[in-house]
Chains A and B, each alone.
Chain A
Amino acid sequence: MKILVTAKRIPDPDENLKIANGAIDTSASKWVPNAFDEYAVETALRLAEHVGSKDRLAEIVVLSICPKDKKQHLTQFLAMGADRGIIVDADDTALDAQSVAKLIAGVFKKESCDLLIAGKLSQDAEGNEVAQRVAGLLNLPQATFGATVNWNRDGKTLAVAREVEDGVETKQIPLPSVLSVDLRIVLPTSVVNNATAADHKYQEGPRLASLRGITMAKRKKVDVLTPADLGVSAGLGVALAGVQPPPARAAGQIVESPEQLVEKLATEAKVL
């Protein structure tokens, strides 16, 4: 089993957003890993490890598309426990979702992967497109917005619980396939690989890198590819036509008591 996990770097979401010259200015941004991709790596690690044993059930390859000298986020994922990395050396800020998907699909094929795990969206662009696009390009089944996953290793299938409009759908997909994950995938019992004890409870959230992990990450292999290596010429199907800050809400008022609140909701806002 070979799992490919995508990792995007994003401008730190806790920094103030700067808008300049009709674009979001990231020139001075601190870059951090996209939170949903941390969940994706955590998912892969939980699938791959047999807690209480040294067995590894899968190889985890982390892929990022970014300038090759800006790979700190990838190093962090290697320190968490991923086996090796691949960088596609490109200006990630100038690629559209289809180009990104083509590059990922290219690596998936080149590496003969069995499963792609991606975060459901990136916190900056919030496109929520790439995993589905990769599945379409590779003509593979997909389970998006996964909240839990159960890997049937004998049947080579995944059962994925995903939140849909009016409830929770459980979808089974054969491997090879594409999985995108929601934040609930990192709850203590969300990932089951049928090797780790069924009652094992993980600590909630993506794991932190250990000191040993950080040391080892420096020795792990990171291959560098170019879009040309993958036969992809990046296009831009979507052009940015403008950026604005969101409209500010008019200043609100502080009320002194529940009585005053109900009175104002009834007579001023007229919502009661």
Chain B
Amino acid sequence: MSKVLVIVETSASDIKPQSLPGITAGKAIADKSGGELHLLVLGASPDAAAAAVAAKGYGATAVHTIAHAELEPMTAEAWGDAIAHAVKSLGATAFGGTATSTLRDVVPRVAAVLDAPMAGEITGVVAGDTFAREVSAGRAIVQLKMSAAPFGFTARASDFEPPAEGGTPSVSAIAAPEISKRGATVLSLEKTESARPALTEADVVVSGGRGMQKGENFKVLEELTDLLGGALGASRAATDAGMVPADLQVGQTGKVVAPNLYFAVAISGAIQHLAGMKGSKTIVAINKDPEAPIFQVADYGLVAKWEDTVPKLIELIKARK
């Protein structure tokens, strides 16, 4: 019987929201292969977090923990040791979770150690061993069939809803194997302080491009962003030019977002950028160039200068609220 092991990331006492889509993907794999969903919590003392995960259930059969001081802060080296051990000792047939920076780092490492295939950033579960994913900046969708078990997977967050809660999984500890960071050390973690929601989780994203010309011009986009309770984004052209920090970049080389409402302001719409936002439900493009490719994916296009349009939009939306 198949056994799908999903690695969940947690704070000291709860699951991190970014791990939720991976559970949904894991459940789909388990359901389509007539198997069980198992969850894995790693940390120096993971019991409280594991209890919180088990309380929500998520349709899992069991929640497993591995406790070891070397597992915090997360490194691919130490987590790789723990995950590979869990896969082997549980006899898991699949392992993975959300395509977060953590799992994109560690799942391929584990796959290599186990001599296993994997499918990264999957957008759909076609069958228990077959997955859809985008390639070439979203210009094609391939279906990949895993020819051996176990296999690894990471699931693109924007393509899987959070999982339904429910069930009463058992909680048990796996004795820690030898775990080592192999000399690696995390020197610092500088959190991006923001009153805004995370780009990948926001309902509304307002992005600016090269046409914004300079960083201070993003102020008006920030005003629109905050009025809508959204997150600020940017095209690669804008981040490369240093107008805004690089972690705001939306695109093949940045973040993939799929909000309800996406504003592309002064963005031409290179394939690279479209790859990061074309899953958005409603796309609005504002650009003074009527030939800009962004208009081909936009639900609503307005051929106009942002300088005139964005302040007017702010005024109109305020009047409506």
Q: Which of A220-266 contact B (CB under 8 A)?
A: 236-246, 249-250, 252-259, 261-262, 264-266
- Number of B interface residues, CB 8 Å? 90
Question: Contacting chain B: which of A67-75, A128-136, A195-203?
Answer: A128-136
Interface string of B182-215 (1 = CB under 8 A from A): 1111111111100000100000100000000000
Query: CB distance B253 to A183 under 8 Å?
Result: yes
Task: Verify if B42 is at the interface (C-beta below 8 Å from A).
Answer: no
Query: CB distance B140 to A244 under 8 Å?
Result: yes
Task: Verify if B116 is at the interface (C-beta below 8 Å from A).
Answer: yes
A246 partner, pick from B139, B204, B312, beta carbons under 8 A = B139
Main secondary structure of the interface of B (DSSP, over half): mixed
Shortest Cβ distance from residue B18 to the other chain A in the assembled complex, whole angstroms: 6
Name the residue on B nearest A173 (C-beta): B184
A239 partner, pick from B110, B145, B247, beta carbons under 8 A = B145
Interface string of B104-136 (1 = CB under 8 A from A): 111111111101111111000010001001111
Tell me, in angstroms, the Cα distance from A129 to B99 when the chains sit together: 12
Query: CB distance B142 to A169 under 8 Å?
Result: no
| Chain A residues with CB under 8 A of B134 | 126, 246
A238 partner, pick from B119, B121, B137, beta carbons under 8 A = B119
Query: CB distance B80 to A136 under 8 Å?
Result: yes
Interface string of A111-134 (1 = CB under 8 A from B): 000000000000111111110111
Question: Contacting chain B: which of A1-9, A58-66, A79-87, A93-101?
Answer: A93-101
Query: CB distance A134 to B186 under 8 Å?
Result: no
Q: Which of A187-206 contact B (CB under 8 A)?
A: 187, 204
Shortest Cβ distance from residue A17 to the other chain B in the assembled complex, whole angstroms: 4
Chain A CB within 10 Å, residue with most, of B120, B137, B299: B299
| Chain B residues with CB under 8 A of A204 | 240
Query: CB distance A159 to B187 under 8 Å?
Result: yes
Shortest Cβ distance from residue B254 to the other chain A in the assembled complex, whole angstroms: 9
Task: Verify if B51 is at the interface (C-beta below 8 Å from A).
Answer: no
Query: CB distance B183 to A174 under 8 Å?
Result: yes
Shortest Cβ distance from residue B20 to the other chain A in the assembled complex, whole angstroms: 13
Task: Verify if A154 is at the interface (C-beta below 8 Å from B).
Answer: no
Given contacts A125-B135, A140-B182, contact A262 B313 (CB under 8 A): yes
Shortest Cβ distance from residue B154 to the other chain A in the assembled complex, whole angstroms: 9
Interface string of A155-184 (1 = CB under 8 A from B): 000010011111111111110000000111
Contact residues on A (Cβ < 8 Å of other chain), bracket: 35 or more
A243 partner, pick from B105, B141, B198, B281, beta carbons under 8 A = B141
Query: CB distance A144 to B104 under 8 Å?
Result: yes
Query: CB distance A239 to B144 under 8 Å?
Result: yes
Query: CB distance B320 to A266 under 8 Å?
Result: yes
Chain A CB within 10 Å, residue with most, of B75, B134, B191, B316: B316
| Chain A residues with CB under 8 A of B135 | 24, 124-126
Query: CB distance A262 to B142 under 8 Å?
Result: no
A141 partner, pick from B182, B271, B316, beta carbons under 8 A = B182
Query: CB distance A98 to B115 under 8 Å?
Result: yes
| Chain B residues with CB under 8 A of A264 | 300
| Chain A residues with CB under 8 A of B247 | 163, 167-168
Name the residue on B nearest A105 (C-beta): B112
A271 partner, pick from B140, B142, B281, B316, beta carbons under 8 A = B281
Task: Verify if A27 is at the interface (C-beta below 8 Å from B).
Answer: no
Query: CB distance A98 to B117 under 8 Å?
Result: yes
| Chain B residues with CB under 8 A of A167 | 189-192, 247
29 intermolecular pairs with C-beta atoms under 8 Å apart: A24-B135, A96-B117, A126-B120, A132-B112, A136-B113, A137-B112, A141-B77, A141-B183, A142-B105, A169-B188, A170-B189, A171-B75, A171-B184, A182-B253, A187-B240, A238-B118, A239-B147, A244-B140, A244-B141, A249-B299, A252-B300, A254-B300, A255-B300, A258-B309, A261-B284, A261-B302, A262-B317, A265-B300, A272-B228
Which residues of A are in contact with B by a Cβ distance under 8 Å? 13, 17, 19, 24, 96-98, 101, 123-130, 132-137, 139-145, 147, 159, 162-174, 182-184, 187, 204, 236-246, 249-250, 252-259, 261-262, 264-266, 269, 271-272
Which residues of B are in contact with A by a Cβ distance under 8 Å? 16, 18, 75-77, 80, 100-102, 104-113, 115-121, 126, 130, 133-148, 151, 181-192, 198, 204, 228, 236, 240, 246-247, 252-253, 260-261, 271, 278, 281-284, 295-304, 309, 312-313, 316-317, 320
